[in-house]
Amino acid sequence: MSYYKFGPNDIFNNVIKTHPQCKFLIHNGNVFYNRKPSSTGLFSDYVGHTPPGHINLYEINVDRPADGLIYPFVSKNSSMLAPRTVSTNAFNGSFSYGDTLQSTYPLSASIQKTLIQGTVSRTRINALKNVLDFYTPMSRHYAFSSSFGDKSDQTVGLVSIPSIFYGSTIKRGSVELNFYITGTLVGQLKDEGRRGELVQTKPEGSTGSGSVAGVVLYNEGFIVLTGSWSLDTAHTESYGITDEPKWIYFGQSISGSITAANSSFELNFKGTNPVPVITMLAHAPAGELNYSSNPTYIEHGQTTTPLTGTDHYTEQDELKIKNTVSSSYADPTGSFKKQTYISKVAIYDEKKNLIGVAKLATPVKKTEERDFTFKLKLDF
């Protein structure tokens, strides 16, 4: 086996920024993610043990019986490691050294909608006060309290998006909200200015068209909806309270306890996922790599057994190399040339530990006069 060291111009490190598309459809108490249908398994109503609209973090309990699920565990020892669900007091008082601490899988997440009204249970929106005020230079609509309203007492619809769906941040300007009544679009919000303002863009000329109905916290994964104008004065429905459709009620049926059967909601956005990439150039120089230790490299039928004795060990030193040069005739073959076929490129660290293997879809013929450069790319 031949080892070659990467040169200073053979390794390149960069980052590829990807923007995966996310689409949520909410209707009649059900949430659907990227149009993925629900799959029923032999042992579970949901093959991944997570309902539609959810992401399963590891997806390792696929169609397993409820009493045979894989779970994480750790033994209590001096490392002091424990699942986050185990408090410090419980770790110190309820477990002895050597005891097994375990948690549960699957770990799943989905979007949530909270309707905040009146003076009761405003903890979630109050917790975002400093964050909202931080983005005020981008738009006055972010301000927690301004001439556009005071979020400490006004009715607010808060949509929460877990980071597992968008990665490091939601792509600015990609958020789109669609509100449907019996299948007809009655309102659409977009951040066309890329300032975080959700402006009603459709239907053209409708009530509220051109008005700001909320803001997006792109880095934190929240959509704050404050638009309280009616999108369809001819329709009323129960969104927790019986009222005409308004932006503050967007996604109100996510919880399942509120069906709002005539209303459906669509949330579209793109995430941002930076992918570190290393590109390596592996060279096969001319005049090298034309021998092989593969048993097929020598002619079949030769004696390859080494000569051994009490005082010696001698390998066969006159073995004929198989001629693999093609010819137009079955016999004789073409003129002999030293050639091999490269099928794999192995990557080693500085201590010659194998850390990766790149396989070619089709082996490449290597002759003495040929040189090759293989471009290897690895995403982390």
SS (H, E, C) 293-323: CCHHHECCCCCCCCEECCCCEECCCCCCECC
Question: Closest Cα to residue 268, out of 173, 128, 201, 195?
Answer: 173
The rounded distance, in Å, linking the Cα atoms of 213 and 219 is 19
Neighbouring C-beta atoms of residue 155, cutoff 10 Å: 17
pTM for the model stands at 0.77
For residue 128, what are its two tokens?
């975002």
Q: How far, CA to CA in Å, does 293 sit from each of 6, 109, 290, 380?
A: 23, 52, 10, 33
Look at residues 189, 198, 191, 159 and name the one whose alpha carbon lies nearest to residue 173: 191
Structure tokens of 270? 């793109």
Tokens of 169: 């941040």
Percentage of the chain surpassing pLDDT 90? 54
- Alpha-carbon distance values, 230 to 2, 75, 137, 202, 323 (Å): 74, 57, 29, 14, 83
* Residues 47-71: tens digit of each pLDDT: 888 888 888 888 888 888 888 889 8
The tokens describing 242, both together, are: 């019986």
Residue 327 has pLDDT above 80, yes or no: no
Strand partners, 113: 159
The two structure tokens encoding residue 59: 């997806």
Q: Which two tokens stand for residue 378?
A: 């690895």
pLDDT mean over 141-166 = 93
- Are 186 and 231 contacting, i.e. CB atoms less than 8 angstroms apart? yes
Q: Give the confidence band of 324 by pLDDT, cuts at 50, 70, 90.
A: confident
Rg of the chain (C-alpha set): 32
pLDDT digits (tens, 9 = 90+) for 182-240: 999 999 999 999 999 999 999 888 888 999 999 999 999 999 999 999 999 999 999 98
Cβ atoms 325, 331 nearer than 8 A: no
Q: Looking at residues 164-168, what average pLDDT do you find?
A: 94
Q: Can you give the length of the chain in residues?
A: 380
Amino acid at 309: G
CA 256 to each of CA 28, 73, 157, 253: distance values in angstroms, whole numbers, following the listed order: 7, 33, 16, 6
What are the φ/ψ torsions at residue 31 (nearest 5 degrees)?
Answer: -120, 130
> In 3D, which of 322, 318, 351, 353 has the Cα closest to residue 338?
322
* pLDDT tens-digit map of 259-299: 788 999 999 999 999 999 999 999 999 998 888 877 788 88
The mean of the pLDDT values for the chain is 89
Consecutive H or E run containing 92: helix 88-93
**H or E element: which one contains 116?**
strand 112-116
Token pair in block for residue 251: 């996604």
